[in-house]
């Protein structure tokens, strides 16, 4: 499996008016699959298009999309990939998205309706021979983390939104937090070459 970061996630914050987080979008490729993890929010649509063009990919070439969880800053751009099978934790079905608000609820419903096929995960799976799936329901009940073996970037840890910036990791590493999440993050980061944060630049784990 080969990996490439398409978009480094972040947050646009204009106090009182705009709070628009957008996730890191990771691209994976092997002989049979062209995969996106968390293709991100509407605010990065033009960067996503540029990356696809640069790689010579059409939206229809993406075969699979993995979601750490179903929040729109990670999942909105799934609507553009007409052939992709969507992978996410089965608990996503238990939420009443239409109740999220008269506009937000409709956005969620629109995204859900755009999916041609969903593969439900429970955690514990190994996908495509190189993606380990871990159920980490501390940010959302359907939340997953991934550990990915790649040929070109080493072993990658995508904790998802349970540790979404470098600052979160620093706090855990320095021992300012002593909860279940930080234990999990510190334990799993020992075995990897790079942590890919959902809303920050990647970082080599401290030893």
| Residue 71 lies near Ni ion (rule: CB under 5 A) | yes
Q: Tell me the DSSP string of 29-68.
A: E-SS-EEEE----GGGHHHHHHHHHHTT--GGG--EEE-S
The 15-54 contact track toward Ni ion, x by CB under 5 A, reads: ----------------------------------------
> Minimum CB separation from Ni ion for residue 75, in Å?
9
Task: Out of 64, 161, 168, 200, name the contact with Ni ion by CB under 5 A.
Answer: 161
> Minimum CB separation from Ni ion for residue 199, in Å?
9
> Minimum CB separation from Ni ion for residue 70, in Å?
9
> Minimum CB separation from Ni ion for residue 161, in Å?
4
Stretch that binds Ni ion, among 48-56, 57-65, 66-74, 105-113 (CB under 5 A): 66-74
**Residues 12, 18: contact at Cβ < 8 Å?**
yes
* Distance separating alpha carbons of residues 68 and 160, to the nearest angstrom: 6
Largest CA distance in the chain: 47
Q: Which of 22, 43, 30 is closest to 3 using CA atoms?
A: 30
- Using CB positions, name the residue nearest to Ni ion: 71
155 membership: H or E segment, kind and range: strand 155-158
Nearer to Ni ion, 71 or 89 (CB): 71
**Binding interface with Ni ion (CB under 5 A):** 71, 161
């Amino acid at each position: 499996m080969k990996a490439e970061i398409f978009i480094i996630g972040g947050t646009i914050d204009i106090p009182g008016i705009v709070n628009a987080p957008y996730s890191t979008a990771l691209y994976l490729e092997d002989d049979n699959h062209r995969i996106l993890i968390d293709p991100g929010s509407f605010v990065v649509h033009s960067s996503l298009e540029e990356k696809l063009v640069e790689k010579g990919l059409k939206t229809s070439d993406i075969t699979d999309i993995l979601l750490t969880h179903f929040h729109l800053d990670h999942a909105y751009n799934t609507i553009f990939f007409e052939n992709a099978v969507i992978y996410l934790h089965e608990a996503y079905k238990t939420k009443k998205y239409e109740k999220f608000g008269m506009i937000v609820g409709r956005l969620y419903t629109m995204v859900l309706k755009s999916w041609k096929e969903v593969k439900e995960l429970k955690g514990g799976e190994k996908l495509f021979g190189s993606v380990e799936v871990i159920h980490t329901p501390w940010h959302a009940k359907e939340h997953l983390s991934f550990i990915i073996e790649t040929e070109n970037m080493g072993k990658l840890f995508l904790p998802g939104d349970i540790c979404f910036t470098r600052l979160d990791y620093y706090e855990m590493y320095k021992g300012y937090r002593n909860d279940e999440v930080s234990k999990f993050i510190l334990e799993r980061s020992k075995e990897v070459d790079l942590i890919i944060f959902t809303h920050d630049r990647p970082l080599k784990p401290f030893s």
